[in-house]
Homo-oligomer: A and B are copies of this chain.
Amino acid sequence: MAISSDVIRGYNDTIILYVLLNSDSYGYEISKEIRRLTDDKYVIKETTLYSAFTRMERNGYIESFEAEPEAEGTGKRRTYYRITDAGRAYYREKCEEWLLTKDVMAHFILDDPMKQ
């Protein structure tokens, strides 16, 4: 079963910010990192990713800058993103909210639903 983005709705920003916590990055790389971290269980859609960038930059959670690829011959122009202090704060908030959400959901999920 593939997990739909709609499930994670509202948490794509959090996921992206998590990747940016470790180092500045750009769309394509972030996308690959998410796949790698989740063993391809979650593959963020391109449009979802880039619209998240727009939204988060508008909200002041990230900043963008243009940069050439570090090594020679490894692709074309890229827009890098850097997490801001506001972004870090927002990430922390969303983490707490997630933990709460998990608790709430636990009341409604049967771990072995086949028993029902």
Q: Which residues of A contact B (CB under 8 A)?
A: 1, 3-4, 6-11, 14-15, 18-19, 21, 37-38, 41-42, 88, 91-93, 95-105, 107-111, 113-114, 116
Give chain A's interface secondary structure class.
Answer: helix
Q: Which residues of B contact A10 (CB under 8 A)?
A: 4, 6-7, 9
Report how far A88 CA is from B110 CA in the complex, Å.
12
Q: Number of copies of this chain in the oligomer?
A: 2
Q: Which of B3, B7, B21, B100 contacts A116 (CB 8 A)?
A: B21
Q: Which of B88, B98, B100, B111 contacts A41 (CB 8 A)?
A: B100
Report how far A37 CA is from B109 CA in the complex, Å.
12
With A8-B105, A41-B104, A116-B21 already in contact, the answer to whether A111 and B99 are too (CB < 8 A) is yes
